[in-house]
């Protein structure tokens, strides 16, 4: 397991994010729902743990009976997700009321610069391909729910189509875009934060 995966596994167990938010009281928090859609969760002792196949042989995932995925049972997953979203935003309001929440609206992409398809690349290597249209529909639903129910600012990366980077430092993946995405993202973030000053 690489350093990032170890950190991810540890922080998923400790939920240290909440303590860090309380102690550091950041001015901004950026959120998106990539992991909620792509990874799913497992229920362990009446709590939920983000599922990641990298961790499937480690406790507590090793003993988990069921992986819940939003793509397989949207209604029941969304019901649970809404409860936890409500709890999360209540925590933020209570513990870091001055923190501005920025919802990053993005989407999954299948096409690389040059026209090839990530799904096709994955199929040739016997990796699972995904239904990009369905995932993006779900992402839009989650974004819409949060926009309608909580006080957030929006950084909208869905207005343009961004292609995937064949040589991305983190590898080929559905949210590993070309540099244009990151340039536009940073530009929008600067504009948003300057409006708040």
H or E element at residue 44: strand 41-44
pLDDT in tens, 141-176: 999 999 999 999 999 999 999 999 999 999 999 999
Residue 57: predicted pLDDT: 84
Range 146-172 burial, b when 16+ CB lie within 10 A, else e? beeebebebbebeeeebbbbeeeeeeb
Domain-embedded: residue 57: yes
Domain around 192? 3-13+29-196
Domain-embedded: residue 19: no
Domain total of the chain: 1
Domain-embedded: residue 136: yes
How would you classify the pairing of strands 47-50 and 100-105? unpaired
- Name the pLDDT band for 111 (thresholds 50, 70, 90): very high
pLDDT in tens, 8-67: 888 888 889 999 999 999 999 999 999 999 998 888 777 788 888 888 888 777 777 778
Residue 40: predicted pLDDT: 87
Contact criterion met (CB below 8 Å) for 102 and 189? yes
Domain-embedded: residue 69: yes
Coil/strand/helix, residue 1: coil
**Region 57-84: what's the mean pLDDT?**
87
Domain-embedded: residue 89: yes
Residue 136: predicted pLDDT: 98
pLDDT in tens, 168-187: 999 999 999 999 999 999 99
Nearest partner of 108 among 161, 52, 147, judged by Cα: 161
Q: Is the pLDDT of residue 188 over 90?
A: yes
Domain-embedded: residue 119: yes
Percentage of the chain surpassing pLDDT 70? Answer: 100
Domain-embedded: residue 22: no
Domain-embedded: residue 109: yes
């Amino acid at each position: 397991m690489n350093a990032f995966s170890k950190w991810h596994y540890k922080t998923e167990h400790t939920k240290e994010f909440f303590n860090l938010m309380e102690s550091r009281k950041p001015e901004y928090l950026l959120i998106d729902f990539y992991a909620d859609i792509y990874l799913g969760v497992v229920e362990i002792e009446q709590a939920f743990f983000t599922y990641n196949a990298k961790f499937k042989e480690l406790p507590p995932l090793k003993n988990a009976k069921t992986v819940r995925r939003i793509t397989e049972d949207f209604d029941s997953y969304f019901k649970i997700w809404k409860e936890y979203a409500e709890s999360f935003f209540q925590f933020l309001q209570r513990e870091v009321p001055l923190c501005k929440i920025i919802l990053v609206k993005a989407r999954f992409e299948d096409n690389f610069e040059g026209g090839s398809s990530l799904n096709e690349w994955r199929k040739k290597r016997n990796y699972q391909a995904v239904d990009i249209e369905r995932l993006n529909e779900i992402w839009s639903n989650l974004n819409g729910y949060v926009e309608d129910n909580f006080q957030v600012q929006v950084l909208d990366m869905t207005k343009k189509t961004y292609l995937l980077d064949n040589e991305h430092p983190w590898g080929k993946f559905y949210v590993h875009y070309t540099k244009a995405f990151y340039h536009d993202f940073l530009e929008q973030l600067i504009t948003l934060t300057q409006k708040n000053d």
